[in-house]
Amino acid sequence: MSDPSNIESRIEEAHLLVRDLRLQARVGVNPGERGAEQPVVIDAWVGLEDLELTARSERLRDAVDYVSVVRAVRRVVARRHFPLVETLTHAIAHAVLDRHGVSWVRIRMRKLDCLKDASSAGVVVTLRRDPRQPAVHPIPVDPGQLTPRGEEIVIVGGGAAGLCAALWCWRLGHPALLVDPAQQLGGQLHLVHGLMRDLPALEPMTGLPLAQRLWRQFVGHQGRWLRASLVAVEPPELGCTFEVIGADPAATRLVLRPRAMILTTGVQRRRLEIPGERRLAGRGVLPTAARDIDGLAGERVVVIGGGDSACENALLLAQAGAEVTLVHHDRNLTARDQFRRRVAQEPAITVLLDARATGLVGEEALEGVEITDARGQSRLPARAALVRIGWIPNSEPLPARWLDDRGYVRCDSSGRVEGETHWFAAGDLLGRISPSVATSFGSGSSAASAACLLLETHGAD
């Protein structure tokens, strides 16, 4: 029998297969279907980017785990009532395609016993990644994969500012190591599902296409990405030190001492920190309204917050046909006048002022929001909720002396951290005065230019 290792071969296509996944789904517009569960059967074909890697390594962490694929399908099905089978199937396909290592997905969904003389009826949805989009893979968390003489520049954060900084470092002749713990680079761009209409010289687009363009540039200049999390920093007199934990649980901690560090860790949405918020995330508690807005028509949705973002999302949901309740803890909305006026004129929005959300209720999915106001406690029925109460910087590992009273990094006009020589920062970590992709690009390029100038000025010391 021949040895397969001696045969020259190439895998033409590989996919994972899940057949006959039977679930109870809330789907349909016919009388009796609204809010009622009915059996569906789901088949999933999941295209794999790199089966060769899994076959060679024989490690589960290099594979697309079919158990996690099934979990993703279950989460979507449990999220809410879907008026159309097409809507639910499309949502499942997107959830599976978003997984790292997946190149395409085909989802077939069938409703059982819904037609006379037919065992089932349904739809098939196929989604593929842009074939021009190169795969971006992290390097192993192994000191042998890092520059033996030590990294010149390390960039922490793989969003718009970090990827722009990496591009400028390469352009100026000092390629940097990018460090980010996410499964895909792009940061907050993955949460931008509405069209960005303020991109200079670019057509309006959502966050993913812009992230893909940045990936192509990153791959084009042989960008190196270490998938790891920053947990501590220790700036010595010369150079910089930080400690990372690899995304692989088995990886050991690494200490890197680059000659310059650029921090672009960005921000995250502020949480209410109330019961049910984390448990129901993705199951009615939405990260963004734009992605699921078409399926929220006729649904009761609670938006928590009173600023621009809360009002803008409430208006978008109302325009899509949702019944919206806007809950704000103060006596007046803090949004700009134009948003306040539009909210007041929108009949589909009910505003509750001087009220606080104190709990999110539901077993498998969100069912309601507990409210406390001057009248006492009550519960608002809701199929979805959106928390828009501001942002907090991802600056927890950084020394307190670098931060202002809100936790943002204090820097000079070039992005150099105040009081430091070898540390720089860019992007939303500098503050939220004018949060935009353009600001992230500009500050990322400025910090990269200053870091490269530092290396050239100080030589090898």
pLDDT at 252: 66
- Whether residue 151 is found in the same domain as residue 116: no
- Residue 90 pLDDT > 70: yes
Could you list the beta-strand ranges (E) of 190-329: 224-226, 228-233, 242-246, 254-256, 260-263, 267-269, 285-286, 300-304, 323-327
pLDDT over 70 at 50, yes or no:
no
Other CB atoms within 10 Å distance of the CB of residue 246: 19
Last residue of a domain, one of 93, 128, 163: 128
- The answer to whether residue 174 is domain-embedded is yes
Section 24-48 average pLDDT: 84
Same domain, 382 and 406: no
Instruction: Give alpha helix (H) positions in 269-374.
Output: 308-319, 337-345
Provide the pLDDT for residue 118.
Answer: 84
Banded model confidence at residue 1, pLDDT cuts 50, 70, 90: very low
Instruction: Please compute, for residue 58, the number of CA atoms within 13 A of its CA located in the half-sphere on the CB side.
Output: 0
Please compute, for residue 283, the number of CA atoms within 13 A of its CA located in the half-sphere on the CB side: 21
Can you tell me which residue has the tokens 């490269």?
A: 452
Question: Could you tell me if 322 and 299 are in contact, meaning their C-beta atoms sit under 8 angstroms apart?
Answer: yes
Whether 355 and 432 share a structural domain? no
Residue 430 has pLDDT above 80, yes or no: yes
Pair (36, 119) in one structural domain: yes
Domain assignment present for residue 278? The answer is: no
**Does residue 237 surpass a pLDDT of 60?**
no
Whether 123 and 46 map to the same domain: the answer is yes
Name, in order, each residue with C-beta under 8 angstroms of 280's C-beta and a sequence gap of 6 or more.
360, 362, 365, 366
Residue 106 located in a structural domain:
yes
> Which one of 44-58, 198-212, 274-288 scores highest in mean pLDDT?
274-288
Model confidence band, residue 52 (pLDDT cutoffs 50, 70, 90): low
Q: Do 28 and 116 share a domain, yes or no?
A: yes
pLDDT at 440 over 80: yes
Q: How far apart are CA 373 and CA 319, in angstroms?
A: 27
Q: E strand or H helix at 425, and its extent?
A: strand 423-425
User: Could you tell me the strand order of the sheet in which 254-256 lies?
Assistant: 228-233, 242-246, 254-256
Q: What is the pLDDT of residue 255?
A: 78
At 172-195, the pLDDT tens digits run 999 999 999 888 899 999 888 777
Based on the domain organization, do 263 and 147 belong to the same domain? yes
Q: Which of 151-160, 228-237, 300-309 has the lowest mean pLDDT?
A: 228-237
pLDDT at 64: 75
Check which CATH number belongs to the domain holding 62 and give it: 3.30.1130.10
CB atoms closer than 10 angstroms to residue 210: 19
> Is 425 within 8 Å of 263 (Cβ atoms)?
yes
- pLDDT, greater one: 16 or 109: 109
The confidence score (pLDDT) of residue 80 equals 80
Q: Is residue 88 part of a domain?
A: yes
Answer yes or no: is pLDDT of 385 > 90: yes
| pLDDT value of residue 195 | 77
Average of per-residue pLDDT values in the chain: 84
Decide if 451 contacts 152 (C-beta within 8 A).
no
Using one digit for the tens of pLDDT, what is the confidence trace for 197-218? 888 887 788 888 899 889 989 9
* Residue 1 falls inside a structural domain: no
**Same-domain status, 99 and 32:** yes
* Residue 113: strand, helix, or coil: strand
* H/E segment holding residue 93: helix 85-97
Among candidate residues 423, 422, 397, 446, the one with its CA nearest the CA of residue 161:
446
Same domain, 402 and 436: yes
Domain that holds residue 437: 143-269+392-458
Question: Quick one: which H or E segment has residue 376?
Answer: strand 376-381
pTM over 0.75: no
Per the domain annotation, does 134 fall within a domain? no
Q: Residue 415 pLDDT > 70, yes or no?
A: yes
Domains: count for the chain: 3
User: Do 300 and 208 share a structural domain?
Assistant: no
Last residue of a domain, one of 369, 387, 405: 387
DSSP 184: S
pLDDT at res. 153? 94
Which ranges of 105-223 does DSSP label H, i.e. alpha helix? Answer: 160-171, 207-220
CATH number, domain at 301? 3.50.50.60
Distance in angstroms (rounded) separating the CA atoms of residues 151 and 125: 45
Q: Which of 250, 243, 130 is nearest to 179 (CA)?
A: 243
Residues 6+ apart with CB under 8 A from 212: 130, 133
Same domain membership, residue 319 and residue 171: no
Residue 9: strand, helix, or coil: coil
How much is the pLDDT for 4? Answer: 47
What pLDDT was estimated at residue 7?
A: 44
Please tell me which residue, 235 or 425, carries the higher pLDDT value. 425
- Please check whether residue 371 lies inside any domain of the structure: yes
**258 shares a domain with 147:** yes
**Which domain-ending residue is among 365, 387, 409?**
387
Please indicate, yes or no, if residue 274 is contained in any of the structural domains.
Answer: no
